[in-house]
Amino acid sequence: MAPKRPTGAGAFPKAVETPAPNPPDPASLYAALDLGTNSCRMLIAQPKGSQFHVVDSFSKSVQLGHGLESTGRLSRGSMNRTISAMRICREKLKRHGVKHMRLVATEACRRAQNGSNFIAQVKRETGLTLEIIKPEEEARLAVISCAPLVSVNTEQLLVVDIGGGSTELVWIDLTNVPKRERPRAIMRLHAGFKSDPGPFAAAKVVDWISVPLGVATLRDQFADVEDDAARFALMSWFFEENLEEFSPYAAAQAREGFQIIGTSGTVTTVAASHLGLKRYDRTKVDGLRMTTDQIDTVIRDYLSLGPIGRRADPRIGKDRQALIMSGSAILQALMRLWPTDRLSVADRGLREGLLYAQMSADGVLEDAPF
């Protein structure tokens, strides 16, 4: 008997982190590496039905973009830290025998005067080939990774990816897509924001923007402001000013049928703080819906702690504490602007989008959405 065709939001690829009983066949493994302004992160996964199973992962705060705002260049120390992390990734890829992989770099390498030289250095010293992707592809990959979290009742969708060096926003109109097809229509955007969907109902990308302000770059812009609360307020309003060219910004939007999905370390950290998690648990965070009041309560708590208190708070973590207020400033600005009082939290992003796109292109996922 043919397997029943899955429907609804749960029918799409997501990480399944249960241990495999036997070592996977290297030929079936795929890898995705995301080198951002702050972090180097990699997933190695195996197709599993319409989803994928994560067999290994890596995440390290390398601060590649440290000092980029003032110098326009990647520093020697930042590049050395990153290459050390890339060597670890190379060994993991080698140990698992991974043949299918895509390794990408984003805003820091896009903006740095020596970005291309650094990519060549990575190749020489690790043998790994990084490609610098354009902002539209970065936004598109974040969007398709979040498709499983799209409600069938969503008519207007805003996907927000708060990165280290930039923030991508994508506004999608789903009103002409049948309800049960809405998450699947988001998945079909992997081919491009203006691609021909063929015979399928299409999700319409109204507008998208890549704001060159992320948690690291926004923090660096206001590093000279000593007062913690004043710095936070300035960051939030400055980010809002940079959204003026985003076309839906000034348009009146109906509250009903509107959904915001946020994907980033900031969003997941705020969610973990709201839940009071001393140890991060993806299963409790991914898919969580938070109200504006709950988000504001967490942010007020961060402000009351001050820099010293935030450094000691186990909910935030050492890697995130230096960036959490700039990320929170972006998040608060976004929630202030759009007609909803809820945010869907996504612990997924560029890596998951890269894995999905590779597996989909190779036809190794069951029940592909096209």
Q: Give yes or no for residue 16 having a pLDDT over 60.
A: no
List the domain boundaries for the chain: 30-133, 136-351
Q: Global pTM? A: 0.83
Residue 193 has pLDDT above 60, yes or no: yes
The beta strands (E) that lie in the chain are given as 15-16, 30-35, 39-48, 51-61, 100-105, 131-132, 156-162, 167-173, 204-211, 258-263, 289-291, 342-346
Indicate the CATH number of 136-351 among 3.40.50.10150, 3.30.530.20, 3.40.630.30, 3.30.420.150: 3.30.420.150
CATH for the stretch 30-133: 3.30.420.40
**254 confidence band (pLDDT: 50, 70, 90):** low
pLDDT for 199 equals 59
Residue 57 pLDDT = 95
Question: Tens digits of per-residue pLDDT, 89-130?
Answer: 999 999 999 999 999 999 999 999 999 999 999 999 999 999
Tell me how far apart the alpha carbons of residues 230 and 187 are, in angstroms, rounded to a whole number.
41
Mean pLDDT for the stretch of residues 3-30: 54
Q: What is the pLDDT, as a whole number, of residue 188?
A: 79
Q: In what order do the strands lie in the sheet with 258-263?
A: 204-211, 167-173, 156-162, 258-263, 342-346, 289-291
Model confidence pLDDT, tens digit, residues 309-343: 999 888 887 778 889 999 999 999 999 888 788 99
pLDDT of residue 201: 73
pLDDT at 33: 98
The per-residue pLDDT for range 128-174, each reduced to its tens digit, is: 999 999 999 999 999 989 988 998 899 999 999 999 999 999 999 99
Position 195 scores a pLDDT of 61
pLDDT for the residue 196: 58
Tokens 């030289």, located at residue:
117
What tokens were used for 226? 């000593």
Q: Same CATH topology for 30-133 and 136-351?
A: yes
- C-alpha to C-alpha distance for 168 and 120, rounded to whole angstroms: 27
Q: What is the pLDDT of residue 15?
A: 47
Taking 60 as the threshold, does the pLDDT of residue 17 lie above it? no
- What is the chain's mean pLDDT, rounded? 87
- Tell me the average pLDDT across 71-81: 96
pLDDT tens-place string over residues 209-240:
999 999 999 999 999 999 999 999 999 999 99
Which pLDDT belongs to residue 198? 59
